Amino acid sequence: MASLGSKLRFLATAGVGFFADGYLNLTIGLVVPILGYLYFQGNEGSVPAVDSDIMKGGLSLGMVVGQLAFGVLGDAWGRHTIYGRELLITIFGTLLVILMPWKNMSPSAVTAWVAVWRVVTGVGTGADYPLSSSLSAEKAPLGSRAVQVLTVFSNIGLGNFSASIVFLVLLRAFQGAITSKLDRLQWVWRLQLGIGIVPAALTLYARLTIGETSPYQHYVADQGAGRKRGLKEQWADFHDYFKEWRHARVLFATSAAWFLFDIAYYGLNLNQSIILSRIGYSTGATPWEKLWKMAVGNLIVQAAGYLPGFYVGIFLPDRIGRVRQQFYSSTITCILYAIWAGISAPSAHTSTAGMMVIFAISQFVICAGPNVTTFLIPAEVFPTRVRGTAHGISAAAGKCGAILTAFAFGTVEEAIGLGGILGLFSGIMLLTALVTLMIPETKGQTLAEIERGGMYHASASHSQSTPDIEGMSPSLKAKENVYDHEVTRASVS
């Protein structure tokens, strides 16, 4: 049985990658306005919509590559074999963004530099999704399996919240310098990104030396039988499992739900500066005042809705179930966005305070619901031999939604306004709720029961039956009754 200390160390080691993801991913919405003041003076200090979309979308492009590639490699070679390499890529890519030349950079060169190295950073942050989710689901949990997986994932919210606080501190620290010379904003955005990779660097060694999980050793590695494991064997396992329609349908549902959700989620979170401007919370007489007001607005929304949503969402799966949590919260978000769209109309004359309230409530519901369940469900609903690959595919589908909204938000918002965007997102969240109904429930299932496909059988949740899975290889069928009972008992959620 793993000690409390080792469980806490694992939570810190796995969580730091998501802290960096949240910090580096959503903080770009704070950095881009600064780059506008520094490098886009010809556009009145505002980054054009196309350039803004390219810089914001670069990370998501890289994340798709990292999620797909490292998901497969984690299943083929083992979690511990490649864990930590993704953090090296994240640190390297971020350093190169920060080291962009200070002078003689044209607007197009700035856009290209930031976008290219943000893609590299994205490969590292994306790889963390299938690797850390698999490790979190398979390690002996602190609490339940769902609590452990989502505690690790919640560090995204903490990272984003921390980025807003750091931004406020930097703006205050450099207020006098910025007022006398606007170019001092260079220090703000470079330090803003650089501070985000410090925790990652401090836990790099712990990731590189982490041990393999018992479920992977038992179900996949099969070292005692001398079974060679590589990409060819991984493809065979993937094909054997997903050739069955009921399994392929679940992969489609987890991928589609994540894709749809990320369109709405990143549409608002990557563009909070635009949202706050449209609802009247980023006005100011000077660039510093505008940036300060935007940072305060971000912090209010995060403290009131975004971060609490993450933490409330940790404890809901074991009480109401994953599928119900995702379905009902997506439906409520759909209704909230429809209301928000209505009160955004100029004829509604809604106050800025009223807009901020609906913004915060929407953030709370979406973060307590599909934001956590789209990550949790693929980590549980698939067996160990394809868990990383399937989670990587689902997460990559989500990031395709983020890419779509990152590259299109500015242009579409200019065409149909914030109200039109919110109406569109309302419909997308309704589709997310409907797709969720295709996913089986894993509440109450041990990893051994999930391995045997217990969630497909209505009576399997609390019984000792051992349903068989079509597509399971003969060697795994022979082993399914000798699973490590300590890990099984510890993994009940």
Quick: pLDDT tens for 309-332.
999 999 999 999 999 999 999 999
- Residue 345 has phi, psi (to 5 degrees) of -60, 140
Res. 438: pLDDT tops 50: yes
Q: What is the pLDDT of residue 277?
A: 65
Tokens of 410: 């500015």
Residues 239-274: pLDDT tens digits? 999 999 999 999 999 999 999 999 988 877 766 666
Res. 470: pLDDT tops 50: no
Contact (CB, 8 A) for 158 and 401: no
- Stretch 417-443: mean pLDDT: 93
Q: What is the pLDDT of residue 471?
A: 42
- Stretch 92-104: mean pLDDT: 93
Task: Tell me the torsion sign for CA atoms 470, 476, 477, 483.
Answer: negative
Report the distance separating Cα 131 and Cα 114, nearest Å.
26
Tokens of 15: 């969580």
Res. 398: pLDDT tops 80: yes
Sequence spans of domains, the chain: 10-213+230-443
Task: Give the global pTM.
Answer: 0.87
Res. 371: pLDDT tops 70: yes
Average pLDDT, the chain: 85
Lowest mean pLDDT among 19-23, 94-98, 189-193, 411-415: 411-415
Contact (CB, 8 A) for 264 and 409: no
Any idea which fold 10-213+230-443 has? Answer: Growth Hormone; Chain: A; (1.20.1250)
